Chain A
Amino acid sequence: MKLKYILPILFLALATVACSSDENDDYTPPTSEVDGLQLIQELSNDTHTIELYNQSGLFYTGYNNISLRIKNRSNNEYVEDASITWMPMMQMPTMQHSCPKTNPEKVTGKNTIYQGAIVYQMTNTDGSGWSLMFDYTIDGVDYVVSDTITVMQNDNQNVSSFMGTDSSRYVVAIIEPENPIIGNNDLVVGVYKMENMMSFPVVENYILTLDPRMPGMGNHTSPNNTNLTFNAADNKYHANLSLTMTGYWVLNLKLMNVDDEVIKGEDVTDGNEQSSLYLELEF
């Protein structure tokens, strides 16, 4: 019954968009499921076009929460039942590698929107180097689409890729808060281990100690911060982050494995202003 109403509306909306591609960027029909999101890029093959969206309309290094939908090019309708995997790939001069990711899943309460995440741990200065490949299945038929994408360098270090004391490579990325407040913030961080060039599984049950500091204010810190602990429900690490003022903050971290062995990072002391493992935050 819902479909009965939404489809014609969507159809109408798409028709409008299709007829007037000039307005593509700034015109979204009020009932659109991508309301409030900006189009990043479209990837097309013969049968489908995949539209990628997020808040800013750009990929940046760090954790990217991405919404997408698949348009059937034959009838301009959006696919409601697809299973999707994606593979971001960085082409380096001598090798290529991927990065941590969560495959897109259908968003509850939406008909055509799928959501996933990609953590770009680096990029080239001109934003080049990355490509994105989709494998998706609709009604038992497999499809593939891929294209190069542009990933901009974030001004702040919101992701850190490093070699741990256990000789494994890890990626740590800040996920939330997206809009920090002066006060208590829910800090969410993703921790991934680089098993090989293509596989970056979530690291479970480690601990990250948290020590936020303001280097511009004599390394002032705030009270009532908690250490980041693993939450199996969302596969992410959670903590309370209190920020006493706006400005530039350094979140000093220390990654410890299940045996409480330090994998990376040091405590901030009088003699050590900053941990070698840190993330930055500005607001």
Chain B
Amino acid sequence: MVLSVLYTTLSFGQDTLPSMEKDTTQLDEVILITQRKLSNYRQEKTLSSIDDYLEKSNRITMIKRGNYAWEPTLSNMTSERLNVTIDGMQIFGACTDKMDPITSYVDVSNLKKVTIASGQEGTENGHCVGGAIDLQLPESKYYDFGLKSSVDVGYETNGNYRTAGLDVEYSGNTFYLNADGIFRKSDNYGAGNNQEVLYSQFQKYNISLQGGYKLSENHQLDANVIYDKATDVGYPALPMDVSLAEALITSVTHSFENDSAFIKSWESKLYFNTITHIMDDSQRPDVPIRMDMPGWSDTYGFYSKVKIEANKHSLLFNLNGFYNRSLAEMTMYPNDSNQPLMFMYTWPDIRTLYSGMYAKDAYAISENATVSANVRLGVQNNTIGNEVGLESLQIFYPDLTDSKNRFLMGFAADYLYKKPNYDISFGVGYGERAPSVSEGYGFFLFNSFDNFDYIGNPYLSNEKSFQANIKANYSIYDFKIGIESSYFYIMDYIIGGIDPTLSAMTIGASGVKVYTGLDHASIFDVYLNTSYNFTEKFSVNGTVGYNYGQGSNNEPLPIIKPFSYVAEVAYATSKFNAALQLEGNANQSRFSSFYGEDETPAYGVLNLNLGNVVNLKNNKLVFKYGVENILDSFYSTYADWNNIPRQGRNFYINASFIIR
């Protein structure tokens, strides 16, 4: 209905449809979701979710609590250590149990590319320790190509997964409009050996509207609205599901561009987004107690960034600020209906006000060498907006006041030397981050991973990180080899510590953990990438990786990737491509039983991807099809919450029809 309305009223098209370029040898930290074409290496489904795309990056692992809304980790660090933004906009999930990473509120149809930056290189939009993921929206195009549209349909046998998408785009000389919608629905998926994974279904749709108007040669105005709504989302790894996850993401952007002026570009954005997230256990037949856990998160913000190029300097300044309100509550229904409802604020209306500034300078020392440095300074205030919430937290912190200020800083410097057949770069950095709302102010948040209730700690110190990274690539004839490594030394590493004096709230929980700062922790990763092109069309590539994490208490950190490998044989022409891929992890020997992890055994899965392009006059038909987990292995990885098994064998086909 909505789609047909859109189709009839706004018959325009968009061609930034998903396909992915990923080259393991180049270690691009950018995942392109570019125009629909066959990629050279790992062929993907055109209708892959954002989650699937992100997972193809070396440094990103998705934590899975079900078949939907996976949580990205970057360099073995989860969302609170990352700065995840949508086109520079701050947006915060509304679920206290991380069931709604913000990557779940956009779809591939909304995006142009995803930029991934490790460590302090990722502070352009905000403070972080682990790095940044920026989901970038497409820019308006004033190409005057008129109307363009495309239709996508997809089907996967595992879970009876259906997808349909429609994009219409109109481009004039001064006016641009794009509308797209996508719908996804899956039943329970099956793990290896046809074992149904209960409560793994989901359903969502996403619509977006983008419009641009060129005010003059150098000035343009853009507006973007994304509405995303998921219903009936099952979380097999958790005791609860989600009946509604809804986001409205809006922005207005003014941009100035002038190649011949001192200021090359100046982009300013005002934005607002609101999220409603409702957890639901009504589908579960057997729970100790029925409960409702709704959460809300509203964010207002702006940024203004200026690019200047002068002499050999390339400068970038970004002034930004945001205001977020996070509120979540829990109502439990006693089994004895004579007793009153049990209510508490799990996020007591925390208001976060941040303002900060970022500056970066890249200086070309010579033709081959570039040195760059960046710095971010910011001030953050957290206020507990809810009197009941403040009083609740005063149970644990009797002298707690409703407001806390933090000063945050981060800086990094790196050096890049590039020759035609080799390049090398290294960098160092220091950064700080404030505790997240849950870490600072959470009230009895149950974590099913270690089976503990968590209490926030408003007095936590900022987490501080020293980092060093090195990257080198070398190519000889058709053989390429690259190594990439990073090391983080994190002080006041925020993690839960058991408080044996506290009594668990959740029925069946093992106890209560209070967030504390571990004196220090170390996280290390190294990846070795190789590729060899036998011919223009036929190539092989492979990656092996090793990750390590340990705290000052001599315990391994949780959710650290074990030894991993990917190997691929690929054949590609302009009309056809095929790839056979082997992907796996070694036995997770350094698991963290201290933090509730168990040992995940080794696994390896085999995937086959195929693709065809058919030109029909001016129009184009793209097919992507293949088999995932060909051998139907029953397995789970270290990042699967409570060891829920992954999908078994899956046949899929995606078809896209592009009408010009």
Category for how many chain B residues contact A: 20 to 34
Contact of A182 among B341, B392, B398, B508 (CB under 8 A): B392
Q: Give complex CA distance A222, B394 in Å.
A: 12
Contact of A224 among B335, B398, B507 (CB under 8 A): B398
Q: Is the CB of A183 within 8 A of B505?
A: no
- Give the contacting residue for B396; candidates A220, A221, A223; CB below 8 A: A223
A223 lies within 8 A of B332 (CB): no
Is the C-beta of B215 less than 8 angstroms from some C-beta in chain A? no
Q: What mask results when residues 302 to 343 of chain B are scored 1 for a CB within 8 Å of chain A, else 0?
A: 000000000000000000000000000010101110011111
Is A218 at the interface (CB under 8 A from chain B)? yes
Residues on the B chain within 8 Å of A15, using CB: none
Contact residues of A between 132 and 168, Cβ < 8 Å to B:
none
Please give me the residue from chain B that is nearest to A182 by CB atom: B392
Chain A residues lying within 8 Å of B343, measured Cβ to Cβ, are 182, 245-247
- Cα A248 to Cα B391 with chains together (Å): 19
Q: Is B198 an interface residue (CB 8 A)?
A: no
The reply to whether A247 and B507 form a contact with Cβ atoms under 8 Å apart is no
User: Contact check: which of A218, A224, A243, A283 meets B340 at CB < 8 Å?
Assistant: A283
Q: Is B503 touching A245 in the complex (CB atoms < 8 A)?
A: no
Shortest C-beta distance, A4 to chain B (Å), equals 42
Known: A183-B391, A224-B396. A218 touches B288 (CB 8 A): yes
Given contacts A224-B398, A248-B340, contact A218 B388 (CB under 8 A): no
List the B side residues contacting A214 at CB < 8 Å: 342
For chain A, the bracket of interface size reads 20 to 34
In angstroms, Cα B508 to Cα A222, docked, is: 16
- In A198-254, the 8 Å CB interface with B consists of 214, 216-218, 220-224, 242-248
Say whether A282 faces chain B, with CB atoms less than 8 Å apart. Answer: yes
B508 / chain A contacts, CB cutoff of 8 Å: 218
Most buried by B among A245, A248, A283: A245
Interface contact A244-B332, CB-CB below 8 Å: no
A47 to B391, CA, bound (A): 51
CA distance A181 to B394 in the complex (A): 11
Max count, chain A CB within 10 A of own CB: residue among B288, B341, B391, B503: B503
Contacting residues, chain A, for B503 (C-beta < 8 A): 220-223
| Mask: chain B, 492-525; 1 = CB below 8 Å from A; 0 = not | 0000000001111101100000000000000000
Whether A184 is near chain B, meaning CB under 8 Å from some CB there, is: yes
- Cα A182 to Cα B348 with chains together (Å): 12
For A221, the chain B residues whose CB sits under 8 A away are 503
CB-based contact B341/A184 at 8 Å: no
Closest Cβ–Cβ distance, residue B570 to chain A (whole Å) = 55
Q: Does B444 contact A (CB under 8 A)?
A: yes
Of A181, A217, A221, A243, the most chain B CB neighbours within 10 A belong to A217
| Closest residue on chain A to residue B339 by CB atoms | A248
The interface centre, meaning the residue of B336, B342, B501 with most chain A CB atoms within 10 A of its CB, is B342
Q: Which of A183, A243, A244, A247 contacts B341 (CB 8 A)?
A: A247
Q: How far is the CB of A156 from chain B (nearest CB, A)?
A: 10
Distance in angstroms between the alpha carbons of A247 and B339 in the assembled complex: 7
Check if B289 is an interface residue, CB within 8 A of chain A: yes
1/0 per residue, CB under 8 A from B, across A174-185: the answer is 000000011110
A218 and B344 in contact (CB under 8 A), knowing A182-B388, A183-B394, A248-B334? no
B502 engages A223 (CB within 8 Å)? yes
Whether B340 contacts A247 by the Cβ 8 Å rule is yes
- A216, B335: Cβ atoms under 8 Å? yes
In the complex, are the beta carbons of B395 and A222 less than 8 A apart? yes
A52 to B134, CA, bound (A): 69
Judge whether A246 and B339 touch: CB under 8 Å: no
Q: Which one of B330, B336, B392 has the greatest number of beta carbons of chain A within 10 Å?
A: B392
Provide the residues of chain A in CB contact with B395, threshold 8 Å. 183-184, 222-224, 242-244
Nearest CB in chain A: distance from B600 CB, A? 30
C-alpha gap A209/B508 in the complex (Å): 26
Which residues does chain B contribute within 8 Å of A181, judged by CB atoms?
Answer: 388, 391
Alpha-carbon distance A221/B512, docked complex (angstroms): 11
Q: How far is the CA of A223 from the CA of B398 in the complex (A)?
A: 11
Known contacts A216-B334, A223-B395, A224-B396; is-contact A244 B388 (Cβ 8 Å) = no
Least Cβ distance of B374 to chain A in Å?
44
The distance from the CB of B243 to the nearest CB of chain A, in whole angstroms, is 22
Q: Convert B384-400 into 0s and 1s, putting 1 for each residue whose CB lies closer than 8 angstroms to a CB of A.
A: 00001011101110100
Query: Chain B residues with Cβ under 8 A from A222's Cβ?
Result: 395, 503
B339 touches A282 (CB 8 A): yes
Contact present for B334 and A244 (CB under 8 Å)? no
Pairwise interchain contact A182-B505, C-beta atoms closer than 8 A:
no
Instruction: Report if A246-B340 is in contact (Cβ < 8 Å); known contacts: A223-B501, A223-B502.
Output: yes
Contact (Cβ within 8 A) B505 A217? yes
How far, in angstroms, from A283 to B343 measured CA to CA in the complex? 10
Residues of A near B334 (CB, < 8 A) are 216, 247-248
**Which residue of chain B is the closest to A240 with respect to CB atoms?**
B398
Which residues does chain A contribute within 8 Å of B340, judged by CB atoms?
A: 246-248, 282-283
Which B residues touch A245, using CB under 8 A? 330, 332, 342-344, 505
Q: Across the interface, do A244 and B501 meet the contact criterion of CB distance under 8 Å?
A: no
Known: A184-B398, A224-B396. A216 touches B342 (CB 8 A): yes
Taken together as a complex, chains A and B put the C-alpha atoms of A221 and B504 apart, in Å, by 8
Chain A residue with Cβ nearest B393: A183
Chain A residues in 8 Å Cβ range of B504: 218, 220
Contact check, B336 vs A244: say whether CB atoms are below 8 A apart.
Answer: no
CB of A273 to closest CB in B, whole Å: 13
Check if B288 sits within 8 Å of A246, measured CB to CB. Answer: no
Please measure, in the bound complex, the distance between the C-alpha atom of A183 and the C-alpha atom of B390, giving whole angstroms.
8
Give, as a whole number of angstroms, the nearest-CB distance from A219 to chain B. 8
- A244 contacts B444, C-beta separation under 8 Å: yes
User: A184 and B396: CB pair below 8 A?
Assistant: no
Report the Cα distance A183→B395, complex, angstroms: 5
Q: Of the candidates B330, B336, B342, B391, which one forms a contact with A184 in the assembled complex, judged by CB atoms under 8 Å apart? A: B391
Chain B hits for A247, CB < 8 A: 332, 334, 339-343
- Least CB distance from A217 to B in Å reads 6
Q: Return chain A residues, CB-CB under 8 Å to B444.
A: 244
Assembled-state Cα–Cα distance A217/B335 (Å):
9
Q: Evaluate contact between A246 and B342: CB separation under 8 angstroms.
A: yes
Chain A residues with Cβ below 8 Å from B392 are 182-183, 244
Cα–Cα, bound, A24→B339 (Å)? 35
Whole-angstrom CA separation of A221 from B390 in the bound complex: 19
**How many Å lie between the Cα of A220 and that of B335 in the bound state?**
15
Enumerate chain B residues within 8 angstroms of A218, measured Cβ to Cβ: 288, 504, 507-508
- Which residues of B (601-647) have their CB < 8 Å from a CB of A? none
A253-283 to B contact mask, C-beta < 8 Å, 1/0: 0000000000000000000000000000011
Q: Which residue of A lies closest to B503 (CB)?
A: A221
Q: For residue A220, which residues in chain B have a CB less than 8 angstroms away from its CB?
A: 503-505
Closest to B392 in A: A182
B642 to chain A, nearest CB (A): 21
Is the CB–CB distance between B344 and A246 below 8 Å? Answer: yes
A181 to B289, CA, bound (A): 23
B81–chain A nearest beta-carbon distance, Å: 29
Given contacts A245-B342, A247-B343, contact A217 B507 (CB under 8 A): yes
- Considering the complex, give the chain A residue whose CB is closest to the CB of B396: A223
CB distance from B492 to the nearest CB of A (A): 24
Chain B residues with CB under 8 Å of A242's CB are: 395
Q: Which residues of A contact B (CB under 8 A)?
A: 181-184, 214, 216-218, 220-224, 242-248, 282-283
Mind listing 16 A-B residue pairs with CB under 8 Å?
A: A181-B388, A182-B345, A183-B391, A184-B394, A214-B342, A216-B342, A220-B503, A220-B504, A221-B503, A244-B444, A245-B330, A245-B332, A246-B343, A247-B340, A248-B336, A282-B339
Query: Which residues of B are at the interface with A, using a C-beta cutoff of 8 A?
Result: 288-289, 330, 332, 334-336, 339-345, 388, 390-392, 394-396, 398, 443-444, 501-505, 507-508
Give the top 9 A-B pairs by smallest Cβ distance, nearest first: A183-B391, A247-B342, A245-B344, A248-B339, A242-B395, A216-B334, A218-B507, A221-B503, A246-B343
Q: Given A245-B343, A246-B341, 7 other A-B contacts at CB below 8 A?
A: A217-B505, A218-B288, A218-B507, A224-B395, A247-B334, A247-B343, A248-B342
